[in-house]
Amino acid sequence: MAGSAHTALDADAVNHERPWRTPAGTARAAWPLAAVAAAFTLAQLLLVRPGMGLGWDETVYVSQVGRHAPAAFFSAPRARGVSLLAAPVAAWSSSTALLRLHLALLSGLALYLALRAWRGLFPERVLVLAGALFASLWVTLFYGPRAMPNYWVAVAALAAVACFLRVRAGGAGRGAWWGLAASAALMACMRPVDAVWVALPLLALGLARHRRRALCVLLAGLAAGAAEWVIEAYVAYGGLARRLSDGAAIQGGFGWHLAVVDELRSLGGRTLCRPCTGALPHPLLTLWWFALPPLAVLALVVAVRARRPAATALPLGCAATAAFPYLFLIGYAAPRFLLPAYALLAVPAADALVHLLSPRHP
């Protein structure tokens, strides 16, 4: 069956999944992923002008560490991860072009590391295609070199799910454990609430399967990344509950809001759709968006038939929980909100496409 070589199965009764083994010389074999990341970095520099001025949100984040202007008001929902990311340049230079170059290089490296974490779970061609699919989205290219948190939540989520799958399968080295902790910390450092939404399936699986060590490492990473935000809540915002409440109020309050069409409208090039009115983009611009659900279903069917469901179901589950609040709980839209979901959907979607395009043998 196509794709059945993605993973080897244990011979024990519970049929735990093992990672698909890569051949010897894997350091050299990783060059296709490096090429995807390098192309992504170059495309950012060519298509998104490095000298483009900072947006308001970027100005707020960069001003926290810059020396050339007073720090802007830091509202309750924001976290300081982006400020720390920008600090190596913003702390001594006011050059926007230099800052964007710095962020473009880091975003390319982060994409490479996130894709590399999946090696052994899927064949190389699937990962190369997944990286190309995610990196070629205009929203990914646009926000890679910008001082905004959503891209970083996306690549951290992609790495976290891969590392969780590795440690769940057993026999993972220290790199997978450290990768799980670091990627969870990066998510929480950038957007603590989003990190919790992304991690819900991982937390549920850790509890249900009694994977206590994996659960503890995941929780430790989330706690480490969110620690500053929680401490700051008590120091400057009147407590954690108050900060969460103020953050929700700034976003218009959380409640049942069907924002699916709003997100669709935002794909036409709007960076913020609030209020979200106007015509929908041309169908050709949103065709890929409508292709994601059937590709996800096909990927899951292929994975179940090949007896390797976890490596596909887990990123799909995390993509669903990452997207849920932005599709159903807030009354406005921005294309960057769904970047974590797009990153997590990229691997299953690529697997489904490879299955569709692979030659069939009688």
Q: Cα–Cα distance between 166 and 180 in angstroms, integer?
A: 9
Contact 18, 7 (CB under 8 A): yes
Could you tell me the CA-to-CA distances from 98 to 48, 102, 114, 181, 323 in Å, in that order?
13, 6, 24, 30, 32
Count of other CB atoms within 10 angstroms of residue 27? 7
Q: Cα–Cα distance between 127 and 236 in angstroms, integer?
A: 43
Summarised one tens digit per residue, pLDDT across range 4-34 is 334 333 333 333 444 454 544 455 668 999 9
Residue entry with tokens 């010897």: 24
Q: What is the mean pLDDT of residues 109-124?
A: 96
Count of other CB atoms within 10 angstroms of residue 199? 25
Which pLDDT belongs to residue 26? 53
pLDDT reading at 68 higher than 90: no
pTM: 0.91
Which pLDDT belongs to residue 216? 95
Element (H, E) at 49: none
Summarised one tens digit per residue, pLDDT across range 234-281 is 999 999 999 999 998 988 778 888 889 999 999 988 888 877 777 888
